């Protein structure tokens, strides 16, 4: 019988399915239901730095720096207290790992938050530094350095695993991943999703084009996971985005992932999809006499591909040079 146990960022998981940061995990009761449905771990709904800043900026501080500072601190403390309470309550009723989450873009006081999450009982911390770099004065490489700076500061303060969830907007994700590993990251998640902007042409307003992920997004995740797991094999990887069924889960592991983070699949199909995906995985493994995930994890990554190299542009050019109508 196939065994689905795996390890991700030093956390022992019963299977490779993690619920990604979302409204699916914003209450202890929801998290418990996900555990009962078969989820191996849950990433809590993120604390968003820009949301806290926006709330603080909308408050009238009476023009006084002291009042402005007090309001900012109060709003920030209130938001973090809710997250701390969620960790504490979830840990009381759940046995699966609970991963706290920060969505930030500046190197401010997140070390304090990390310590509070560790004290509250979080099993790990996922840091998500998602931002577009659009300024004309931008210095190439500074965004990558921000990741390293935040990681170093947090690692000095906590002993729990620190997971870096990356966006896909890097010239060379592998170089950054290598530096993240060198600076103590325990795992990397590939990738976070940017807001998909659109225009409402009837009302001339801004809106979101697509909130949920698409199966077509998986290809890019497979590419970079396959390359990263071959280039920096010491780090654990999770795929996030585009895994909607058991086939997607299997592909992510073949690329070198230890786990996947899913959201859209649960939103669309309900919690029952968790067991369905795991059953598909078991059936596939049994059909190929695989007893453990380790027997096929990374079996189709860049190292295994050898000279074929299906993950880079040369293969694209080769395909179209040989393609005939």
For 264-284, b/e burial (b = at least 16 CB within 10 A) is bbbeeeebebbeebbebbbeb
> Given a cut of 90, is residue 55 above it in pLDDT?
no
pLDDT at position 86: 94
Listed in sequence order, the residues at least 6 apart from 63 whose beta carbon sits closer than 8 Å to its beta carbon are: none
Rounded distance between C-alpha atoms, residue 33 and residue 306, angstroms:
43
Rounded distance between C-alpha atoms, residue 151 and residue 155, angstroms:
6
Residues 203-217 have a mean pLDDT of: 86
Check whether the bond before 191 is cis (ω within 30° of 0): yes
- Helix (H) / strand (E) containing 205: strand 205-208
Q: What is the largest CA-CA distance in the chain?
A: 71
Q: pLDDT digit string (tens) for 259-299?
A: 999 999 999 999 999 999 999 999 999 999 999 999 999 99
Residue 193: which pLDDT band, with cuts at 50, 70 and 90? confident
> Given a cut of 80, is residue 104 above it in pLDDT?
no
Residue 321: other Cβ atoms inside 10 A: 7
> Given a cut of 70, is residue 320 above it in pLDDT?
no
Cβ–Cβ under 8 Å, residues 38 and 278: yes
Residue 106: which pLDDT band, with cuts at 50, 70 and 90? low
Residue 40: which pLDDT band, with cuts at 50, 70 and 90? very high
> Given a cut of 90, is residue 212 above it in pLDDT?
no
> Given a cut of 80, is residue 77 above it in pLDDT?
no
Q: pLDDT digit string (tens) for 3-35?
A: 999 999 999 999 999 999 999 999 999 999 999
Q: To the nearest whole number, what is the mean pLDDT of the chain?
A: 87
Least Cα distance to 158 among 81, 104, 102, 93 occurs for: 102
Rounded distance between C-alpha atoms, residue 174 and residue 232, angstroms:
8
Question: pTM for the complete prediction?
Answer: 0.88
Rounded distance between C-alpha atoms, residue 274 and residue 262, angstroms:
9
Rounded distance between C-alpha atoms, residue 244 and residue 204, angstroms:
33
pLDDT at position 17: 98
> Given a cut of 70, is residue 67 above it in pLDDT?
no
> Given a cut of 70, is residue 42 above it in pLDDT?
yes
> Given a cut of 90, is residue 213 above it in pLDDT?
no
Cβ–Cβ under 8 Å, residues 76 and 113: no
Distance from the Cα of residue 249 to its chain's centroid: 15
> What percent of the chain lies above the pLDDT cut of 90?
64
pLDDT at position 203: 94
> Given a cut of 50, is residue 74 above it in pLDDT?
no
pLDDT at position 107: 62
Q: Exposed, middle or buried: residue 325 (CB in 10 Å: 0-12, 13-18, 19+)?
A: exposed
Rounded distance between C-alpha atoms, residue 287 and residue 283, angstroms:
6
> Given a cut of 80, is residue 248 above it in pLDDT?
yes
């Amino acid at each position: 019988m196939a065994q689905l146990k795996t390890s991700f960022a030093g956390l022992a998981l019963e299977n490779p399915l993690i619920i990604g940061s979302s409204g699916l995990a914003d209450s202890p009761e929801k998290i418990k239901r996900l555990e009962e449905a078969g989820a191996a771990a849950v990433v809590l709904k993120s604390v968003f730095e820009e949301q806290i800043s926006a709330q603080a900026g909308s408050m009238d501080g009476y023009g006084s720096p002291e009042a402005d500072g007090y309001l900012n601190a109060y709003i920030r403390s209130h938001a973090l207290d809710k997250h701390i309470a969620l960790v504490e309550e979830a840990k009381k009723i759940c046995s699966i790992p609970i991963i706290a989450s920060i969505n930030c873009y500046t190197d401010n006081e997140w070390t304090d938050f990390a310590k509070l999450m560790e004290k509250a009982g979080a099993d790990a911390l996922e840091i998500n530094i998602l931002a577009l770099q659009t300024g004309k004065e931008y210095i190439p490489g500074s965004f990558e350095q921000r990741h390293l700076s935040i990681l170093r500061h947090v690692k000095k303060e906590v002993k729990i695993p620190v997971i870096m969830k990356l966006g896909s907007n890097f010239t060379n994700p592998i170089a950054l991943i290598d530096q993240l590993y060198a600076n103590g990251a325990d795992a990397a998640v590939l990738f976070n999703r940017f807001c998909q902007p659109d225009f409402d042409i009837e009302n001339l307003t801004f809106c979101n084009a697509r909130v949920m992920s698409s199966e077509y997004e998986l290809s890019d995740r497979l590419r970079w996971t396959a390359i990263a797991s071959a280039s920096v094999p010491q780090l654990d990887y999770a795929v996030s985005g585009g895994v909607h069924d058991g086939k997607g889960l299997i592909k992510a592991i073949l690329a070198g992932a230890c786990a996947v983070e899913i959201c859209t699949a649960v939103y669309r199909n309900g919690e029952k999809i968790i067991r369905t995906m795991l059953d598909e995985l078991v059936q596939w493994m049994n059909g190929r006499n695989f007893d453990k995930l380790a027997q096929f994890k990374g079996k189709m990554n860049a190292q295994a591909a050898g000279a074929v190299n299906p993950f880079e542009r040369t293969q694209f050019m080769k395909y179209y040079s040989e393609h005939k109508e």
